[in-house]
Amino acid sequence: SFPTRRSSDLSCLNSYSQREGKGAEMMMKGALFDLDGVLADTASLHFKAWRKLAKENFGRSLPDELENKTRGISRSDSLSVILDYLEITVSKAKFHRLAEEKNQIYRNFLTDLSPDEVLPGMRDFITDLRKKGILTALASASQNGPFILERTGLSKYFNAIVDPSKIEAGKPAPDIYLAATAALELSPKECVGFEDAVSGIQSLKAAGIVSVGIGSDHEVGQADLRFSSTGDINFDDVEEIWAEITNNA
Ligand code: BG6
Ligand code: MG
């Protein structure tokens, strides 16, 4: 059977071709990333923007628990969740205006966005993955993804960026992560995904991709492996859980 602790023999691998497995053994070849709350410290700004929108348009406050429910899902899906909570029905045109206004508020919060907003350890972690020959893709629901990658200086670390506007069913459906594996020309089994949202973990699971959650048990307890914060992510632990799941399946 396949050994699960392979950190020592991996440390000498430094190119994609060297990561070809021997015989039928599989190697981890792709890392798929969510953006907000995984790479960039922008997750809470989305909910801050929704709160401002609800206050300004309806004079209403939003409870903390809505943050977890809107994390990871598209702008329009988030707006539906919020309007449901508020028990407010709006016309299609008004819905569109509200979504647009939320994005304006959110973009204003990003005015000073810089490499300082890369979450702790993530630049080094991706650099290390790439040195090991692992391909990287962005699978974020955010249409602001390319802008945020540019402003934080992270664009150059990605082999592929999925355009969420071309994905019919958003997270928790598997589509966006399947599109990311396809963009890297890898199978879901060869990849691992990093997420801070319940919807994102569900999306990875539905796609058959090993999932790493970042956050509390309440937020990402369903993940195959969980780290409390990005600073705790450790390649050997990720590789070990990936090998264990993939080679025992
Ligand atoms: C996700 C966030 O990354 O992007 C969600 O977790 C957000 O909260 C979604 O709704 C869509 O973002 P945007 O930038 O397209 O409104
Ligand atoms: Mg996220």
Q: Ligand 1 in contact with 145 (CB < 6 A)?
A: no
Q: In testing the pocket of ligand 1, which one of 108, 142, 161, 196 has its CB within 8 Å of the most ligand atoms?
A: 142
Q: pLDDT tens across 94-147, in order? A: 999 999 999 999 999 999 999 999 999 999 999 999 999 999 999 999 999 999
| Distance separating alpha carbons of residues 43 and 148, to the nearest angstrom | 12
Between CA 175 and CA 164 the distance in angstroms is: 10
- Is 148 within 8 Å of 118 (Cβ atoms)? no
Residues 197/184, Cβ–Cβ less than 8 Å: no
CB of 203 shorter than 6 A to ligand 1: no
| Ramachandran area for residue 167 (φ above 0: left; ψ -120 to 50: alpha; else beta) | beta
29-88: pLDDT as tens digits:
999 999 999 999 999 999 999 999 999 999 999 999 999 999 999 999 999 999 999 999
Q: Is the CB–ligand 1 distance for residue 130 below 6 Å?
A: no
pLDDT over 50 at 17, yes or no:
no
Nearest to 157 by CA among 169, 149, 165: 149
Instruction: Determine which residue's CA is closest to atom 11 belonging to ligand 1.
Output: 142
- The bound ligand whose nearest atom lies closest to the alpha carbon of 103 is 1
User: Ligand 1: which atom is nearest the Cα of residue 103?
Assistant: 16
Using DSSP's 3-state secondary structure scheme, residue 191 falls into: strand
Name the residue at shortest CA distance from atom 2 of ligand 1: 72
Return phi, psi of residue 213, to 5°.
-100, 145
Q: Indicate whether 170 pLDDT > 70.
A: yes
Please work out whether the CB of residue 142 comes within 6 Å of at least one atom of ligand 1: yes
Residue 227 Cα to ligand 2 middle (Å): 14
Cβ neighbours of residue 59 closer than 8 Å, sequence gap 6 or more: none
**Separation between Cα atoms, residue 148 and residue 152, nearest integer Å:** 6
Asked if residue 98 has its Cβ within 6 Å of ligand 1, the reply is no
26 pLDDT band, cuts 50/70/90, is: confident
